[in-house]
C-alpha cells in the first residue's frame, strides 16, 4: 500500500493521460458495527441495500437543491477534468470530478430520469450493483471535498456536494468509513476528536503555560472553562498535542495575552473540527455545532473565536448560524438569546486571524520581525477557508487577512504561482476525511500539484517555510513533505510565525483573566 518513493517533479505540471483503474481498490478501512451504531447508522450492509440507497438518493435530492440541480445540469464539457489534484496526481479517470460525479449521476439517471429509464445505454445510466457500490466507496473516498472543480465549472457544480451525498447514502445502508465515523463518536461522547477528557486537557494546557513561561519569562495563560470570559476559543483538538499545530495554539495565547481580552477554552466543546460535514450528515454536523453553542451559553462569553482549522472555519462561518443560530438575524429562541448575550460589535463567530488582524490594524501588537528573518514564507490557502468562507467581511478577505498577518510578523513573504493559490488553491491532499494512514498512497499522490507549486517557489524565491491555517493541512504536509524532498518541519501555523515575532509585555494587568 504505502508508497514512500520520492516523486520526481517535472518543471511544469503535466496533465496526465488517463490511466484506467490506476487507483482501483477497496478504499479506506470500513467502520465497525459499534462505530456505525454510535452514529445511528446500521452496523452492516442492510439486506435490501439497493432499495434503501435509491430511497435515500430520492430523499437527499429532495432536500438539497445543490444535488438535484448538479445531477441534471452537467453537460460533460470537460472543464473540470484537469482540475482535481487527485486526478493530476493519480491519472485515474474516475478521479476527474465529472467522472466521480458520474458514478452517482449514472445511478440517478437510471432510476430518476426518463432517458435513463428507457434508454440507459444511450445516456450512460447504470444500475447500483455491487461493482458500482465498490466504485462509490473507493472513489468517493478519493475526494477531499476541496471544491476546486466548482470554481471552474460553468454551472458551479460542486463535486463535494455529490461526494457528501454519496457518503451519506453509503452510511445509511451500513457502509461507513472508519476514520471519520470513529472520530465523530468521540466528539459526541467526550467533546473532541481525540477523545481527550477534561483532566488531560487541563494538564496539557498547564504544561504549555510552563513552557511559555520558561521560554519567554512571561506568564501567558491558557485558561480552561473560565465562566464570564470575553472570548470562547474553539480550536481543532490537534492544536493541543500535534506538531506544528501546538505552536499555533501558543501563538493564539500570546495574542490574547497582549490584547488584554480575557479568553477561555472549553472542555465540553474542545473541538472546532466537525467531520459531520465530510459524511454529509446534517444532524451529525449539527450535533457537533450544538456543543459549541452550549459552551458559549454556559460560559456566558461575549465572543466566539475559531482557531486555525479549514473545514471547521467553513462550518463555523457558513453553517453555524444555520445549524445553531450563532450569528445574526435569527429570530428563534436560541438565536435571540445568543444575540442578547454575544457582543454585536463583532461578527459572530470570528476567526483568530480576524482577531489578530484587527489588533495589528489598531497597532496593539508589536513584532520583532527579524525573529522570522531566517524564513522565506509562503502561504497555503486551505481549500475550505479559500473557497467556502470569508474573513473580515470584505471581498476576498479570506485571502487578504492571513497574508497581512504573516507580513506583519515576517519580512520575507512570497506567494506560490498564480493558479495554485487563493480561489484556485490546490488541496493539501488530506482533507475531507482522508487524513488516515490507510489512504497514504492517495495522500502522497494527491499532494503532487501543491508540492509542485511549492518546488517552484523554492527554486525561484528561496521559500523555506510553508504557513497554513488548517489542522488537516498541517498534519498532511508534515507527513508528505519528505516524499517530495522537502523538510517536514517547513510547515508552520500562521500563529507560530506570530508567536515567534510577537513582543510580549510582562504586564500582568494586561492579561485580565480575573478569574485566574
The residue (of 194 and 352) whose beta carbon lies closer to other proteins is 352
Sheet containing strand 263-265, edge to edge, reads: 263-265, 231-234, 303-306, 350-351
* Bond prior to 128 in cis (omega within 30° of 0): no
The residue (of 351 and 495) whose beta carbon lies closer to other proteins is 351
**Closest distance between other proteins and the C-beta of residue 37, in Å?**
18
Measured CA to CA, the distance from residue 268 to residue 249 in angstroms comes to 18
**Closest distance between other proteins and the C-beta of residue 93, in Å?**
5
Nearest Cα neighbor of 191 from 266, 265, 269, 264 is: 269
Angle at 160 between CA 166 and CA 236, to 5 degrees: 105
Measured CA to CA, the distance from residue 89 to residue 40 in angstroms comes to 35
Residues 450-479 that bind other proteins (CB under 8 A): none
Lay out the site mask for other proteins across 295-314 (x = CB under 8 A, - = otherwise): --xx----------------
**Closest distance between other proteins and the C-beta of residue 2, in Å?**
28
The residue (of 5 and 331) whose beta carbon lies closer to other proteins is 331
**Closest distance between other proteins and the C-beta of residue 371, in Å?**
33
Choosing from 99, 128, 401, 470, the residue that interacts with other proteins (CB under 8 A) is 99
Residue 467 phi/psi, 5-degree rounding, is: -100, 145
Nearest Cα neighbor of 430 from 414, 447, 407, 452 is: 447
Residues 224-283 that bind other proteins (CB under 8 A): 282-283
Choosing from 387, 445, 455, 495, the residue that interacts with other proteins (CB under 8 A) is 387
Long-range contacts of 245-249 (CB under 8 A, 24+ apart): 245/308, 245/471, 245/474, 245/475, 245/493, 246/208, 247/492, 247/493, 247/495, 247/496, 247/499, 248/307, 248/308, 248/474, 248/492, 248/493, 248/494, 248/495, 248/496, 248/499, 249/208, 249/222, 249/307, 249/495
The residue (of 69 and 200) whose beta carbon lies closer to other proteins is 69
Residues 32-91 that bind other proteins (CB under 8 A): 61-66, 68-70, 72-83
DSSP readout, 327-344? SSS--SHHHHHHHHHS-T
The residue (of 33 and 77) whose beta carbon lies closer to other proteins is 77
The residue (of 295 and 502) whose beta carbon lies closer to other proteins is 295
User: Under the criterion CB under 8 A, does residue 407 sit at the interface with other proteins?
Assistant: no
- H/E stretch holding 231: strand 231-234
Residues 177-216 that bind other proteins (CB under 8 A): none
The residue (of 24 and 73) whose beta carbon lies closer to other proteins is 73
Measured CA to CA, the distance from residue 123 to residue 352 in angstroms comes to 49
The residue (of 68 and 216) whose beta carbon lies closer to other proteins is 68
**Closest distance between other proteins and the C-beta of residue 199, in Å?**
24
Residue 92 phi/psi, 5-degree rounding, is: -75, 120
Measured CA to CA, the distance from residue 493 to residue 473 in angstroms comes to 10
Choosing from 363, 393, 509, 514, the residue that interacts with other proteins (CB under 8 A) is 393
**Closest distance between other proteins and the C-beta of residue 475, in Å?**
24
The residue (of 46 and 69) whose beta carbon lies closer to other proteins is 69
SS3 for 22? coil
The residue (of 83 and 452) whose beta carbon lies closer to other proteins is 83
CA–CA distance from 390 to each of 331, 347, 398 (Å)? 24, 11, 5
Sheet containing strand 491-493, edge to edge, reads: 377-379, 465-468, 491-493
Task: Identify whether the C-beta of residue 446 lies closer than 8 Å to the C-beta of residue 38.
Answer: no
**Closest distance between other proteins and the C-beta of residue 293, in Å?**
8
Residues 418-437 that bind other proteins (CB under 8 A): 422-424
Task: Using the structure block, give the residue that is written with the C-alpha cell 472543464.
Answer: 79
Lay out the site mask for other proteins across 347-386 (x = CB under 8 A, - = otherwise): xxx------------------------------------x
Number of residues near other proteins (by CB under 8 A): 86
**Closest distance between other proteins and the C-beta of residue 227, in Å?**
13
The residue (of 144 and 348) whose beta carbon lies closer to other proteins is 348
Residues 320-339 that bind other proteins (CB under 8 A): 321-322, 325, 327-335, 337
Cell of 237: 483538538
Residues 112-171 that bind other proteins (CB under 8 A): 113-115, 119, 121-124, 147, 150-158, 161
The residue (of 76 and 374) whose beta carbon lies closer to other proteins is 76
Binding segment for other proteins (CB under 8 A), chosen from 41-49, 138-146, 286-294, 370-378, is 286-294
**Closest distance between other proteins and the C-beta of residue 160, in Å?**
8
Choosing from 294, 369, 371, 407, the residue that interacts with other proteins (CB under 8 A) is 294
The residue (of 62 and 512) whose beta carbon lies closer to other proteins is 62
**Closest distance between other proteins and the C-beta of residue 324, in Å?**
10
Task: Using the structure block, give the residue that is written with the C-alpha cell 455491487.
Answer: 130
**Closest distance between other proteins and the C-beta of residue 85, in Å?**
15
Task: Identify whether the C-beta of residue 404 lies closer than 8 Å to the C-beta of residue 444.
Answer: no
**Closest distance between other proteins and the C-beta of residue 244, in Å?**
26
CA–CA distance from 412 to each of 357, 374, 381, 403, 465 (Å)? 18, 9, 17, 11, 10
**Closest distance between other proteins and the C-beta of residue 52, in Å?**
20
Amino acid at each position: 500500500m504505502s508508497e514512500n518513493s520520492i516523486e520526481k517533479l517535472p518543471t511544469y505540471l503535466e496533465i496526465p493521460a488517463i490511466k484506467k483503474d490506476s487507483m482501483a481498490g477497496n478504499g479506506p478501512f470500513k467502520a465497525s458495527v459499534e462505530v456505525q451504531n454510535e452514529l445511528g447508522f446500521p452496523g452492516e450492509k442492510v439486506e435490501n441495500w439497493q432499495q434503501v440507497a435509491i430511497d435515500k438518493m430520492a430523499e437527499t435530492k429532495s432536500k438539497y437543491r445543490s444535488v438535484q440541480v448538479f445531477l441534471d445540469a452537467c453537460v460533460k464539457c470537460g472543464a473540470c477534468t484537469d482540475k482535481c489534484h487527485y486526478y493530476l496526481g493519480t491519472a485515474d479517470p474516475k478521479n476527474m470530478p465529472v467522472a466521480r460525479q458520474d458514478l452517482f449521476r449514472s445511478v440517478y439517471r437510471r432510476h430518476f430520469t426518463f432517458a435513463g429509464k428507457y434508454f440507459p445505454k444511450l445516456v450512460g445510466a447504470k444500475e447500483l450493483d455491487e461493482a458500482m457500490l465498490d466504485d462509490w466507496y473507493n472513489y468517493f473516498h478519493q475526494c477531499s471535498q476541496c471544491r476546486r472543480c466548482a470554481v471552474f465549472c460553468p454551472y458551479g457544480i460542486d463535486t463535494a456536494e455529490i461526494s457528501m451525498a454519496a457518503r451519506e447514502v453509503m452510511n445509511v445502508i451500513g457502509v461507513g468509513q472508519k476514520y471519520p465515523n470513529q472520530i465523530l463518536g468521540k466528539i459526541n461522547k467526550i467533546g473532541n476528536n481525540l477523545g481527550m477528557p477534561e483532566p488531560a486537557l487541563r494538564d496539557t494546557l498547564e504544561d504549555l503555560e510552563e513552557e511559555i513561561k520558561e521560554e519567554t519569562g512571561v506568564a501567558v495563560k491558557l485558561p480552561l472553562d473560565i465562566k464570564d470570559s470575553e472570548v470562547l476559543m474553539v480550536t481543532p483538538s490537534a492544536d493541543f498535542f500535534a506538531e506544528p499545530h501546538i505552536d499555533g495554539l501558543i501563538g493564539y495565547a500570546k495574542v490574547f495575552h497582549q490584547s488584554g481580552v480575557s479568553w477561555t477554552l472549553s472542555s465540553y466543546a474542545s473541538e472546532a473540527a466537525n467531520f459531520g460535514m465530510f459524511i454529509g450528515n446534517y444532524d451529525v454536523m449539527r450535533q457537533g455545532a450544538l456543543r459549541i453553542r452550549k459552551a458559549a451559553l454556559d460560559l456566558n462569553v461575549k465572543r466566539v473565536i475559531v482557531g486555525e482549522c479549514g473545514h471547521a472555519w467553513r462550518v463555523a462561518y457558513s453553517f453555524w448560524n444555520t445549524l445553531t443560530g450563532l450569528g445574526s438575524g435569527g429570530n428563534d429562541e436560541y438565536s435571540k438569546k445568543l444575540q442578547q448575550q454575544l457582543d454585536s460589535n463583532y461578527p459572530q463567530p470570528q476567526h483568530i486571524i480576524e482577531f489578530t488582524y484587527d489588533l495589528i490594524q489598531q497597532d496593539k501588537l508589536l513584532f520583532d520581525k527579524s525573529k522570522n528573518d531566517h524564513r522565506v514564507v509562503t502561504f497555503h490557502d486551505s481549500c475550505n477557508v479559500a473557497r467556502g468562507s470569508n474573513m473580515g467581511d470584505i471581498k476576498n478577505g479570506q485571502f487578504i487577512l492571513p497574508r497581512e498577518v504573516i507580513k506583519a510578523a515576517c519580512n520575507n513573504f512570497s506567494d506560490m504561482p498564480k493558479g495554485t493559490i487563493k480561489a484556485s488553491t490546490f488541496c493539501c491532499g488530506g482533507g475531507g476525511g482522508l487524513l488516515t494512514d490507510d489512504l497514504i498512497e492517495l495522500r502522497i499522490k494527491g499532494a503532487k500539484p501543491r508540492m509542485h507549486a511549492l518546488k517552484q517557489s523554492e527554486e525561484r524565491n528561496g521559500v523555506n517555510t510553508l504557513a497554513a491555517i488548517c489542522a488537516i493541512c498541517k498534519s498532511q504536509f508534515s507527513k508528505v513533505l519528505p516524499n517530495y524532498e522537502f523538510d517536514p518541519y517547513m510547515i508552520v501555523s500562521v500563529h507560530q510565525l506570530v508567536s515567534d515575532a510577537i513582543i510580549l509585555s510582562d504586564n500582568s494587568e494586561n492579561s485580565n483573566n480575573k478569574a485566574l
